[in-house]
Amino acid sequence: MLKRFAPALAALAMAAPAVAGDLPSVKDAPLPPPVVFPYDWTGVYVGADLGGAWAQGKYTRGVLNNTRNASSIMGGGFVGYNRQIGSFVLGVQGDVQGLGVDTNGLVFGYKQNLLAALNGRLGFAFDHVMVYAIGGVAFSDTKVSNVGGTYADSNVGYDVGGGLEYAFLPNWTVRGEYRYYNFGTFNGTYGPVAAPVNFGFQKTDNTFNIGVAYKFGLPAPAPVVAKY
């Protein structure tokens, strides 16, 4: 009886591998690669910074010229808005900085406790990294004193500079920034009306600070999941 079915069993055994090869695969479909979106710098941001200021005041009175340099720790805050277009980032920013410059001398001295500015920014973004230039109108509370009394500086000038900013989290950035401030020349007069004494005072500042900012940007778009 077994001999009668042996040829049929042998044929069935030989055909089994071929039939198995035609069955559909039960392996899971490969997962799609992760979707990585470039960083978007667009949004309102607020931040705080800390650094140093190096001030220079030049006093002139007739043939007399005197220059006094001073330095101070500086710190404050800023608020601004960025708009990214391609790789370019356009923005506006306002900031206020407190410092403690105070010089005294036999001929003259000056004090400065405030630096503020309203600036435009132009940046170029490399994804999470941005290099930028900054500049605009600057304000100060500098006061100069000499033997004739105490006088306010012009207090309005300009500032220019640049920096490097890095987005280390979706809404957080860190930056390093340099700026140069120039408040022009202030001209004053003291002494009797019949014989006034004229003087001039020119004020500049160089600053460097490190700041951290929080950006109120739109949430990142949800990644598209491929269907199989």
Please give the domain boundaries of the chain with CATH numbers for all domains.
43-215 (2.40.160.20)
Rg (CA), the chain: 35
Helix ranges (H only) for the chain are: 2-21
Total-model pTM: 0.79
Angstrom distance (rounded) from CA 156 to CA 215:
29
Give the angle subtended at the CA of 157 by the CAs of 189 and 98, to the nearest 5°.
Answer: 100
> Per-residue pLDDT for the chain (228 aa), expressed as one digit of tens each?
545 555 554 554 555 555 455 555 556 666 665 555 689 999 999 999 999 999 999 999 888 889 999 999 999 999 999 999 999 999 999 999 999 999 987 788 999 999 999 999 999 999 999 999 999 999 999 999 888 888 887 799 999 999 999 999 999 999 999 999 999 998 888 877 788 888 999 999 999 999 999 999 765 554 544 454
